[in-house]
Copies of this chain bind each other. A is one copy, B any other.
Amino acid sequence: MRFADFSAGQVLVAGPASVDEASIVTFAREHDPQWFHTEPAAAAEGRFGGLIASGWQTCAIAMRLIVDRFLHGSESFGSPGVAYVRWPHPVRPGDELNLRADVLEVRRSRSQPTLGLLRWRWRLTNGDGIEVLDLEVTSLFDLAGRIDS
């Protein structure tokens, strides 16, 4: 999509993304090596009754869906940050995650007319319809810049 294709009020969907034990363990060994992310047997005895994904992996899963479906072919060039991230329920092996993105605001910078700002809310739900991620992020678009291809 191009920046011009986004408008406030849009509801965009993508997915599912499949999560398996190997991807949870691989991500966590490198980035978040805590036992409830990396050790299935110990995690089975733990508070969640099984392995759960790092919250940062959950964010990364949403990002990948967003890039493949919406930012590919766009003038996107980065982000200044995220308003909030909530991880209301854990992501587990076998989950199939669906993304819903609500476009909150689309505008051009007043001071830099070729700078587009998109504020949107991303939510992931698992196969039971339970929300596992909720965040609001601003994406930046260089309307005079390269199109992702």
Contact = CB atoms under 8 A, between A and B. Distances in A.
Interface of A: 30-36, 42, 45-48, 52, 54-56, 59-61, 63-64, 67-68, 71, 76-88, 90, 142, 145-146, 148-149
User: How many protomers of this protein does the assembly include?
Assistant: 2
B145 A32 contact: no
A86 to B, nearest CB: 4
Q: Is the contact region of chain A dominated by helix, strand, or loop, or is it mixed?
A: mixed
B146 A46 contact: yes
Nearest to A33: B67
Given A56-B60, A85-B85, 9 more contacts: A32-B60, A32-B63, A33-B67, A35-B148, A55-B79, A60-B60, A79-B87, A81-B86, A83-B84
